[in-house]
Amino acid sequence: MSGVAAEIAFDRATKRYPGRAEPAVRELTLTVPAGEICCLVGPSGAGKTTAMKMVNRLIDITEGDIRIGGESVRSLDVTSLRRGIGYVIQQVGLFPHMSVADNVATVPRLLGWPKARTRERVDELLDLVELPAEDYRGRYPSQLSGGERQRVGLARALAADPPVMLMDEPFGALDPITRARLQHELLRIQHEVHKTVVFVTHDIDEAILLGDRIAILREGGVLAQYDTPEALLERPADEFVARFLGTDRGLKLLALRRLDELELEPLDGAVAPTAAGSTTLRDALSTMITAGSRSLVVLDSAGEPRGVVTMDSLTGPVA
């Protein structure tokens, strides 16, 4: 497998644990297109981690198959399979006695890269995850915050430029502010590296933010729905999915759209309250509520009034 992102195809992938009557993942069929982020969500025990670990064979498939770029994971040598897959987990798993640079260099060293190339790659990756190399390369994991450790974990997973990344609740243990920052960092990085990512989370908001597509699993590893965030929010397949999306599903849908996308009404002398065009419809609605106004003046990127948006135009039916 090269650095080019590869499609991941689950084909009736099933996992039965010994001594358990029901499978943990049952005939999971879905395709993650190359270069996209697929979020696996669902309640605890739904089989998210099991489904993800079948990709790098930390867990072996009982029936069915998973193909990466058309090649069955069963047919690949486990060591080379895993070297082609970046893996990031909640507990990070940095080596405590090794410097940040040595942690990030783990896979390049296993692959026998020349020292100079490895050093260059480590610095490049530390810059990518916004840990300036001069400051961070010599530190040890105990000298890092939780968020910084996750950044190092991400840099390490990206080191050998694997086409596929598996991430299991990587931001689950972080405080909300650090977590939000890392989520946006991941999106920025993904914009540069275009990996095919399977991202496990139980947090539907995280999935809506990060996922190009979202797979909702229910108990027994049964796929309830696989769709884009927008399609899920607009058309949940059943009661379970609707409940999982939450009663604020309509507001979540508004959060996916921005004022810039709307046709505005003429200014007609209106001056306040105002909102930037990049404001989400959800935040615009909130601003109207707190300002006690049924409309907002939308500003262009130069801060000039561009038109008016009304509450009625935001609250059309959601389907």
Binding site residues, Mg ion, CB under 5 A: 48-49
Tell me if 47 contacts ligand ADP by CB under 6 A.
yes
CB of 26 to ligand ADP, least distance (A): 11
Taking CB within 5 to 8 Å according to partner kind, which of ligand ADP, Mg ion, none is near residue 42?
ligand ADP
Please tell me the distance from the alpha carbon of residue 55 to that of residue 167, in angstroms, as a whole number.
Answer: 11
Quick one: which of 118, 83, 84 has its CA closest to 101?
Answer: 118
Give me the residue whose beta carbon is nearest to Mg ion.
Answer: 49
Which range, of 3-11, 27-35, 38-46, 67-75, touches ligand ADP by CB under 6 A? 38-46
Tell whether residue 252 is a contact of ligand ADP (CB under 6 A): no
Q: What DSSP designation does 262 have?
A: S
Q: Provide the CB-side half-sphere exposure for 78 (13 A, CA).
A: 6
Place of tokens 């996992």: 15
For residue 20, state whether it binds ligand ADP (rule: CB under 6 A): yes
- Give 42 or 170: the residue with its C-beta nearer to ligand ADP: 42
In the complex, least distance from residue 44 CB atom to Mg ion, rounded to whole angstroms: 7
In whole angstroms, the minimum distance from the beta carbon of 45 to ligand ADP comes to 4
- Asked if residue 48 binds ligand ADP (CB under 6 A), the reply is yes
Nearest to 289 by CA among 254, 265, 264: 254
Nearer to ligand ADP, 45 or 246 (CB): 45
3-state secondary structure 26-65: EEEEEEECCCCEEEEECCCCCCHHHHHHCCCCCCCCCEEE
Closest distance of CB 214 from ligand ADP, Å: 14
The Cα–Cα gap between 102 and 238 comes to 48
Q: Which is nearer to Mg ion, 48 or 218 (CB)?
A: 48
